[in-house]
Amino acid sequence: MAAAKKQPKKAPTRKAARGRKPAAARGPDPRESVIDPSGDDVSELAGQVERHGGAVVGAYRDPFAGQALVLASLPLKKVVATPFQRDLSKTHATRLADAIGAAGLFLDPVIAVPSSDGFWSPNGRHRLEAARRLGMRSVTALLVPDEKMAYRILALNTEKAHNLRDRSLEVIRMARQLAKEQPRSKETEHAVTFESPAFLTLGCAYEQRSRFAGSSYQPVLNKVDRFLESTLPAALRQREQWAVRIMDIDDRVAAHVKTMQTMGMKSPYLRA
């Protein structure tokens, strides 16, 4: 009996990802969102604000389920971070204080829930510390009546963290926009906005190569790169030239790595 011919294996087909359909409309419309701050819906929250020396700025219904919320100005000393929040980073708090001082605006309210002797903030440790360093008397807070929110806030903080590529591209794009709007301003004048000169140089490289291995060069750039006294357009031209040099170095490194790999070296740290 002749052996059956083997059929060639078919390549697996990928199923098209199905997007989730939008849910039915829910929540208040814009005009229904406004609440009288002196009304019964927020009377308990408003009373707590006043007892602790604060002032109600306004009230509204949350756009998802219509929960009544209060926006208030609270004495800074009456708002503390939840004890289980991530540890304070002094470096991050310093940078945040510098950024707020440079912008001249605190902007973002902290989230707060009532506590026995004031208010707990489940997500504002660094902003509260920055406010203290800046000598602020009060802080704007969005008050939620449900104390359980202090334990649920982490699940709501789902924004993608900036990796080196994302941060560098964001900074270089800001620099290019500012170069158009303020062409006579110097790069050093925007140091707080750009945070690190290395982001500018690496950003120029990432614009050319999306998969550029910037993390291999960031430690060196952090030691040698500085903000330039040149105008933004001139500084950008200089950084583009530096990016070309770094990419040339990266090409040579890649060639050496390939050679070592052909010799049997397979370590993921060959580039390091």
CA distance 106 to 123: 15
Q: Looking at the chain, list the stretches that DSSP marks H as alpha helix, in order from N- to C-terminal side.
A: 43-51, 90-103, 125-133, 149-156, 164-181, 191-194, 197-208, 218-224, 232-262
Least-confidence region, from 33-47, 126-140, 142-156, 208-222: 142-156
pLDDT of 24 reads: 84
The domain made up of 33-156 has a fold known as 3.90.1530
Lowest mean pLDDT across 13-17, 77-81, 90-94, 209-213: 13-17
pLDDT value of residue 1: 46
Tens of pLDDT, residues 151-193: 777 777 666 667 899 999 999 999 999 999 999 999 999 998 8
> What's the pLDDT at 156?
75
- Checking if the pLDDT of 49 tops 60, the result is yes
Confidence (pLDDT) at 51: 95
Range with lowest mean pLDDT among 23-32, 46-55, 72-81, 120-129: 23-32
Report the alpha-carbon distance of residue 192 to residue 108 in Å, rounded.
18
pLDDT > 90: what percent of the chain? 64
- Average pLDDT of span 16-37: 81
Confidence (pLDDT) at 7: 57
What pTM was computed for the model? Answer: 0.71
Q: What is the pLDDT of residue 3?
A: 52
Both structure tokens of 148? 């359980």
Q: Lowest-confidence range among 19-28, 135-144, 218-227?
A: 19-28
Q: Whole-number mean pLDDT of the chain?
A: 88
Q: What integer pLDDT is reported at residue 272 of this predicted model?
A: 61
| From-to residues of CATH 3.90.1530.10 in the chain | 33-156
For 255-265, b/e burial (b = at least 16 CB within 10 A) is eeeeeeeeeee
Q: pLDDT at residue 6 above 60?
A: no
Tell me whether residue 11 is exposed, middle or buried, using C-beta atoms within 10 angstroms of its C-beta: 0 to 12, 13 to 18, 19 or more. Answer: exposed
